[in-house]
Structure 1
Amino acid sequence: MGLSALSLSLVLVFQFLHAYAAVNVSWSTITSDSSKNVVQSNFLGVSFELSFMDQYFGNDTSTIPQTMLNYLSQIRNRTGSNPVRLRIGGNSADSSTYLQNQTSPMLKLTDPDANSNNQPVDYGPMLWDVLQSVSGSVEGVEYLIGVSLSDPNNTDGSKIGGDAKSILGNNLDSILVGNEPDLYTSHGNRPLLQNYTVQDYIGEFSEVSDYLNNTSAGDLLNNQICSGPTICCDWDLATLLQQGYLATFSNILKYITLQHYPQNNCFGSYQYGLPYYLQHSNTVALAGWQQHGIDIVVSNTSAGHPRLVMSEFNSASCGGIANISDTFAVGSLWTLDYALQMAAIGYSAVYIHTREKGVFYNLIDPPNRTLSGDTWTTNPPFYAVLVLPEILQSDNGSIVVDLNLEGSMTSNSTVAGYAVYDAGSLSASRLVLFNYDNSSVEFSLENSASGQPSIKYLASSDITEKRNIAWGEESFVGTSDGKAVNVTRDTDGFSWLPSSGNFDCSGNCAVEVPGPSLAVVYLSDSVSSSNSTKSNSARRTVVPASFAIFGLVFTFGFFYLGT
C-alpha cells in the first residue's frame, strides 16, 4: 500500500512540475546580411477562384457589395503603406474563355456539368473594371492574375494582359502563366502526349509569354511581369529551374511561384486529422516542400532577381475538410504558423485560397442572393489575414526567425514561437507565441524588453471553435457587415477572453498564453498593438523548482507517516 501510494504521489508531483514548467523564450541579435529574407506587412494575400468572383464582387462596378469592401478595408487598415494582395486565378483561369466584348455579366458559368473543382466561365474586361474600382474604394489593392496555358496556341493571353494592364495600371502586380502544369498529364490536358515533361512546359511557357510582348498596352515583358511555374505536386522545382527555366526566363520573371496543400481531399478522403495541424514540426516540414528549389531561388540576392511566392495554399485541396479546415486551430492558428514559417524560409508573399460559398476552408462566406435573409459569415481563416499584417508591420520590412522553442521544429510539440525583427534596426520588435493545447502555457522571456511591452491575443474557447474568436478585443461574431465589433469577458460566449494590453516586464518576465491561442508580444514602447490601451498585468509567477521539490519531500513524508 505504501509503495502504491508513493507511485501515485510521484505521478502527481511530476504532473505538477510539468504544469508549472515555463517554456523558455530567448532570441539572438541578428546582423546585416543580404541573404536575410525581408517581408512586408502585406505578406499574406488572398487568392480567389476566378469562377466565383461574382459571389464576392458582384457583376459590375455598380453592384460591388459594400460588405466585401468592408472586409478588405479591415485588412488594408493594417497593412500600413502596402496594398492588399489579391490573386485571381485557380484551375478555372486555365480553362475559362476571355471575351473582350463581354461587359455584362462580369462572368458566367459555361458548363453546368463541369467538375466542381474546375468550373470554366466566360469573362471580359468588366472584371478589371471591378477590380480597379475595388482598389480605389479600399485605397490600395494589387493583383496577381492568370492567363491560360491550357491551349498554347490560344492568343487570349495578349488580350488579357493588354486589357488588364490598361485598366489596372500599376495595380497589376504580375501575370501567372498557366496553373499547375505538373498535373496536365493526370488531368488529361495533353491527350496527345503520354507524358508532359518539363521541357514540353518550358517550350509552351515561352510561346504563351511571347504573346505578352505585343498587347494593346504595349510590350509587357519589358516590365518583368510574368510569373511561374506554379507547380503544385509532381515536379521537382530544382530540376525545372536547372533544366533551363530560370536561365531562359529570368529577364521576364517577377516571381517563381508554387502552389501546395498539406493533403488532398479531392476524392472524398484525406490522410491527416486535426492533430496533424497542431504540431509545429509538421508545419516546418510542409514549408520545406521543394527545399532544394527554394534554396536556388533565395540564394540569388542580385537586383531584379525573381522572388519566391506561394500563389495558392490552404489546409486541404479541393475545398478543405469539415471540422478541420473551418476550426480556430487550423483556420486561424495553423494558417498563421504556416505563413510565418514560409516568411522565415524565403517566401516574399503567400496567398490563402477561397472559393464559392459553403466551401470549408473559405475565409468568408457570401450570402446566397436567392435566399431571403441569408448573410455574410466570417470564418476562422479571415482572422489570420487580419493578424499577420499587425505582426509584420514595419516601415523597413520585417525578418522572421523561428525560435525552435523546446525543439518544436522537429519534436511533437504543441507550442511554437517566432521573433520578428525590424529590417532597418535589426532589433527584435515582436514575439509570436503559439499554444495549440486547450490548457494554458507559460512562456518565460529570457531577454530584456525596453520600456513597457504589451501583449495581444488571438484566442478562442476551444481548438474546434468556428465562430467565437477574438483578436484583442475585436471579433466578427454575430456581424454580417464585414466590420468587427468590440467584445469583453461579459460578452455572451466570451468569458474565456484573455486581456490584451501593457504588462510589467521588470524582473522575471513571463507571459501566460491560454489554450488555445496565439500571443503577440510587442517588445518596446515604440511598437504598440492596436486596441491594446487597456492596462493589464500579463506577468505570471513561475513556480521555482525548489517549491516543487518541497512538494515532493512533503508528499514523501505524508505517505511515509501514513504507512
Structure 2
Amino acid sequence: MSCLAAQTPRRGRAGSRACLCAGLLASLALVLASAPVARAAAHRPIPVSRRSTPISVAIDTRNPLPPVPRSFFGLSFELSSLSRVARYADRGDLVALLRSLGPGVLRFGGVSADTRIAWTDASTPRPAWATGTLDAADFPPLASLAAKTGWRILLTIGLGHFEPEAAAREAAAAEAALGGWLEAIELGNEPNAWALTGLRSEPWTFVQYDAQVAAYRSAIEAAAPGIPLAGPDTSGSSAFENWGLAEVINQRPALLTGHHYALGCAQQPPPTISRLLSPRTRQLEETSLSRYTSIAWAGETPFRLDETNNVSCGGVAGISNTFASALWAAGYLTRAMAMGLEGINLHANQVNCGGYAPICAPTPQALAAGALQVQPEWYALQLIKRLVGERPLPTTTSSPARPNVQVTTTLASDGRLHFVIVDDDPPGARGVVVRLRVSRAFGAGSILSLTAPSPAALSGVLLGGRGIAPEGTWVPPKRLPRAANKRGTISVRIAPSSAALVTVSPKAS
C-alpha cells in the first residue's frame, strides 16, 4: 500500500517514521470534503445567551499531523524511588492505574540520580556521598512492572560523580533484566546546571559534558552494546538551544530530552492558580515547546519532555494538588500532542499528596502497600487518553472577546473527530459557546465533561459526572450529553473553570 511521509519526523528505536496511508486519506475525503477550513459555511448564527461568549472553531482536515505516539503518556520518578516503585509490580494499585491509560514510559531520574543514589556491585562499594543505592536485584522487579503494564523504562545513570566503569556495569545489568523494555538510558539529570549546583567547577559547558558522555558511552558500549541514548536532559528549553543541537551533532541520540515547569517555586511574584492558568503562562509554554521541537525536527530526532509539571521544587500545596492542575495538564498535554512531541512525563512524588503528584500514597502504610490514590491531574490523563494514536488537526479559534479557552482537535482512523476544550477562565466569568464547524457529514457531538466546584478544589472532581475511585477505577456513564449538528456546526456550552472532550462521528453512509 502506498504511503505519504509524515510531515513531522518521529522515530522509534528502529528509526521508523510515521506515514499516512493513501487509502485512509481517500476514505476520509468523502466525509471531510465539506468541512470548513478558511471560511464558514453559510448558515444562520446559533443563538448565544447574553452571559455567554461565542467562539468559532475551524479545522484544517487537509493537513493532518503525524499520529500521537502510542506511548505518549509518561510518569517521571526520582531515581531514589526506583526500588519501591518496581516492587509495586506485585502489590498495590500501580499496575491497574498504568494499564488504564494504555502503554507509556516510566522515567527514573531527577536530582537524586546524581546526588544521592549510587550503583553498587561486587566491584563497586557504596561511596560516602550516597544516601541510597541501586544494584542488580532492583531491575528484575522493574522488568516485571514493565511487562505487566506495557510501560517501558527510561533510566537515568548518574554522571554527577564520574564513574564510567560502574556506569557500564549498571547499564549492562539493566539491559540484561529489562531487555526490550529498556527505552533508553540518560546520562545525568540537568547537566547544564551543574556549575550552579556545585557538581562541576567552571568552566562547565557542553564541551566538557560531551567529553564525559563520550567516555561513558565507550565503557557502556563495551559492556552492553546497542543501548539507545537519550539526552541531554536539560533543565529548560533555553539551555537546550545550545546543548540539544550539540547533542544531535556529536552524540546522535535515539531520543532528545529536556524539562519544563510552568511556574518556578521561588519566582516573584509567587505562583498562584491564576498565574498557572493565564494566557501569559501558556504563551511561555508554547515558546518553550517550539524551541524543543524546532531542534528535534532539524535533527530528525524525536523529543520527549521527560520531566514536567505545574510548579517546580515538588509543587506548591493549594496549587499543584488542586483542580487547577487538571485544567493545566489537559491544556498543556494536548498542545504538546499537536506540536509533535514524542511524549511527556509528569514528574511525581508518591509521598507528597500536597505537591504535583498525579498519583500518591496518603500515608506511610499506603506507601508501603502501594495503595496509591489518584489526584486531580490523573483526571486530565483519563480525559485526553482517547487522543493517543490519533492525528492532530490544525485548529483555529476566533471570538469577538478574548476568553481564556484552548481547543485541540484530533482525527481518528475511523473518521471520528475529538475536540478537547479547556476553559481556564475563573469562576464567575462568562461561559462560552464553542461552535465546532465540522460540516453536515457528521452527526451530533457527545460531551464528556471534566468539572469541580472550583479551580482550588482538592476534591469533588468529576469526569462525566463521576469520580475516579482512589485506585483508578472509573465507569463511564451509559449516556453522555449530546449537542446537535445544525447546518454543519455543533454548539457546545462550556462553563468557566472546566474542560470537555467532544466526540463527533461521521454519519452512516
Task: Give TM class, smaller chain.
Answer: 0.7 to 0.9
Aligned counterparts, 1:487-526, within 5 A: 500-507=480-487, 509-524=490-505
Q: Structure 2 stretches of 5 or more lacking a match?
A: 1-47
Rounded Cα–Cα distance in structure 2 between residues aligned with 1:110 and 1:519: 51
What's the C-alpha RMSD, in Å, of the aligned pairs? 3.2
Per the TM alignment, residue 54 of structure 1 is displaced from its structure 2 partner at its CA by 4.8
Cα distance, 1:176 vs structure 2: 1.0
Which residue does 2:443 correspond to in 1? 451
User: What CA distance in whole angstroms lies between the structure 2 residues aligned with 1:433 and 1:97?
Assistant: 45
Equivalent residue in structure 2 for 1:247, among 246, 249, 254: 249
**In structure 2, what is the equivalent of residue 179 of structure 1?**
189
1:19 to 51, 59, 68: 51
Provide Cα deviations, 1:231-252, integer angstroms capped at 9, x if missing partner: 114953232345x4322212xx
Shift of 1:37: 4.5
Mapped to 1, the partners of 2:261 and 2:165 lie a distance apart of: 31
- Change in Cα spacing, 1:294 to 1:370, as seen in structure 2 (3 Å) is closer
User: What percent of counterpart residues are identical?
Assistant: 19
Mark the CA change 1:20 to 1:458 in structure 2 (over 3 Å): closer, same or farther: closer
The CA distance in 1 between the partners of 2:476 and 2:505, in whole Å, is: 25
Match of 1:275 in 2: 274
TM-score by length of 1: 0.72
* 1:496 paired residue number: none
Name the structure 2 match of 1:133: 144
Who is 1:552 aligned against? Answer: none
Match of 1:219 in 2: 225
Aligned pair 1:316/2:307, yes or no?
no
Amino acid across the alignment from 1:219:
P
Question: Structure 1 residue 47: deviation in Å?
Answer: 0.7
Residue 52 of structure 1 aligns with an amino acid whose one-letter code is S
Closer, same or farther: CA 402–220 of 1 in aligned 2, 3 Å: same
* Structure 1 position 40 matched with structure 2 position 69: yes
How far apart, CA to CA, are the structure 1 residues paired with 2:460 and 2:148? 29
Stretches of structure 1 that go unaligned for 5 or more consecutive residues are: 1-15, 77-82, 103-108, 489-498, 528-563
Structure 2 match to 1:231 = 234
What is the Cα deviation at residue 328 of structure 1?
0.8
Query: Amino acid of the residue matched to residue 202 of structure 1?
Result: D
Shift of 1:269: 7.3
**Counterpart in the other structure of 2:132:** 121
Separation in 2, partners of 1:351, 1:130: 21
- Kept in 2, the 8 Å contact 1:158–1:212? The answer is yes
* CA-to-aligned-CA distance 1:459-514 (integer Å, 9 cap, x gap): 222111122112224422xx4434236789xxxxxxxxxx7344422345211123
- The equivalent of 1:51 in structure 2 is 80
SS of the residue corresponding to residue 403 of structure 1 reads strand
- From 468, 471, 495, the equivalent of 2:463 is 471
Equivalent residue for 1:294? 293
| In structure 1, C-alpha distance between the alignment counterparts of 2:166 and 2:212, rounded to whole Å | 14
Partner SS for 2:69: coil
- Contact 1:228 1:256 (C-alpha < 8 Å) held by counterparts: yes
* Equivalent-residue separation in structure 2 for 1:129 and 1:526 (angstroms): 50
Specify the alignment match of 1:98 in structure 2: 119
Task: Judging by fraction of residues, say which structure has more strand.
Answer: 2
Match of 1:327 among 308, 322, 325: 322
Change (3 A) 1:399 1:311: same
1:153 is the counterpart of 2:163: yes
Distance (whole Å) between structure 1 residues aligned to residue 141 and residue 280 of structure 2: 41
Contact 2:292-2:303 within 8 A present in 1 as well:
no
Cross-structure match for 2:360: 365
Cα–Cα, structure 1 residues 239 and 268, in superposed 2: closer, same or farther, change >3 Å? closer
- The 1:186/1:465 distance shift into structure 2, 3 A limit, reads same
Q: Distance in 2 between matches of 1:54 and 1:416?
A: 39
* Matched residues, number: 451
Alignment check: 8 A CA contact 2:445 2:490 kept: no
Say which SS state the counterpart of residue 451 (structure 1) adopts.
strand
Please name the residue that 1:143 is paired with: 153
TM-score with structure 2 length normalisation? Answer: 0.79
CA apart distance, 1:209: 1.9
Q: Who is 2:16 aligned against?
A: none
Instruction: Tell me if 1:88 matches 2:94.
Output: no
Contact 2:330 2:422 in 1 (8 A): no
AA partner of residue 283 (structure 1): R
- Aligned equivalents of 1:480 and 1:20: distance in 2? 35
